[in-house]
Amino acid sequence: MDMMQIGILGVAGVLLAVQFKSGKSEYGIYLSVALSLFIFLAVIGQLSVMVDALSMIGEYIRMDTAYISTLIKMIGITYVAEFSSGICKDAGYQTIAVQIEIFGKLMILVLSMPILTALLDTIREFLS
């Protein structure tokens, strides 16, 4: 799917969900979750292009493949955290949404620690 189709689908879904807001608001939430999952699956289908591009960059630079896989994991964590946080905010649970965002940020920090220590080791070698 291209961006126009996703945009039109999103706007149509929101307009339909707004119709349910006055009567059965839970149907609007269900509709937005279903629409979000559909868009999420469409994005996952496009991730192969990004993985191929990152692999090509890794071949040009000749870096450790662990760095590329860590970068892909970080992108995945960011997207899943934003996705689930957005659904929680849409349902009216802002506190849970903020907790998901904080957990996602901490997970990215945990994943980046080996890279940070490798960078500090490289700097230490240059200075000695």
For the chain (128 residues), the mean pLDDT of every run of 10, in chain order, is 83 83 79 85 81 78 76 88 87 89 94 89 89
Q: Dig out the tokens for 38 from the structure.
A: 């559909």
pTM above 0.85, yes or no: no
Q: What angle do CA 74, 78, 83 make, to 5 degrees?
A: 150
pLDDT value for 124: 92
Distances (CA, A) of 39 to 18, 95, 109: 19, 24, 27
CA separation for the pair 90, 27 (Å, rounded): 12
User: Whole-angstrom Cα distance, residue 3 to residue 40?
Assistant: 13
How far is 80 from 69, CA to CA, in rounded Å? 16
- The pLDDT score that the predictor gives to residue 77 is 92
The confidence score (pLDDT) of residue 48 equals: 80
